[in-house]
Amino acid sequence: MVEGTLGYTPTTEEKKAIETDVIAELKRRAIAQKIVASEADLVVRDLLPETDLGLTSEEWIQSGVAGTYTLVISGRNPENKVWGIYGAKNEHVTAVSGPVKPSAANLSGGHAAIPPVIAIKWGLGAGAAKVKDIWHLQRMYVQNDEVYTDQPVIYNKKELFTIYMLARVKASGADGHLILLGKVAEPKGETIMGAEVA
């Protein structure tokens, strides 16, 4: 696999290894960037859409994605946080019944149409002045609805991030339900204390 590009659907063991590697790298960066003095002061948790990326809720929804790259998420990372994304998963939802799985009769699961988001562009700086990576997702929808990379997209403290998404031309304006699989490293107590707290 070429470094920096989206990979494949790994085995359960490979998924765990990728996640473990991301956690280790985020811990290393958090200490190197002096976010915390030691690992004992650090917590690593799941990336949250509202808390970490500034979306309007903690639900992964991308509204109004167009047939050209559309800015969906942007912000500046605070000085006490680093985060990384190592994969994406498509959620099958319907307005009535919630999450459903695909079937032979309905290959896109509960979506009213084929999932709209087919690519993500990870930018650094205003207007994506630099592009960290581009993930093409279309093949994900004919595999297991999830993809991983062993070269995660990581944003350091104080970095300005932009996330653009591209929709299928015929799906412009549709809502996407793409879950970004990621982790955040930050000081204990900033958002959570950690599971080991008594």
Distance, CA of 15 to CA of 181 (rounded, Å): 11
4 in a structural domain: no
Question: Which structural domain, as residue segments, surrounds residue 168?
Answer: 12-187
In a domain, 196, yes or no: no
Of the candidates 82, 74, 70, the one whose C-alpha atom is nearest the C-alpha of residue 24 is 82
Burial class (CB in 10 A: 0-12, 13-18, 19+), 126: exposed
For 28-38, the pLDDT digits (tens) are 999 999 999 99
Question: Which CATH number goes with the domain that contains 116?
Answer: 2.60.120
The answer to whether residue 99 scores a pLDDT higher than 80 is no
At 102 the pLDDT is 46
Instruction: Classify residue 61: in a domain, yes or no.
Output: yes
**Token reading at 31:** 């200490």
Counted domains in the chain = 1
| Conformational region of residue 135, where left means phi above 0, alpha means psi within -120 to 50, and beta covers everything else | beta
Res 180: pLDDT: 95
Taking the whole predicted model, whether its pTM rises above 0.85 is answered as no
Residue 176 DSSP class = B
> Which pLDDT tens digit goes with each residue over 40-81?
999 999 999 999 999 999 999 887 777 888 899 999 999 999
Q: How many CB atoms lie within 10 A of CB 30?
A: 26
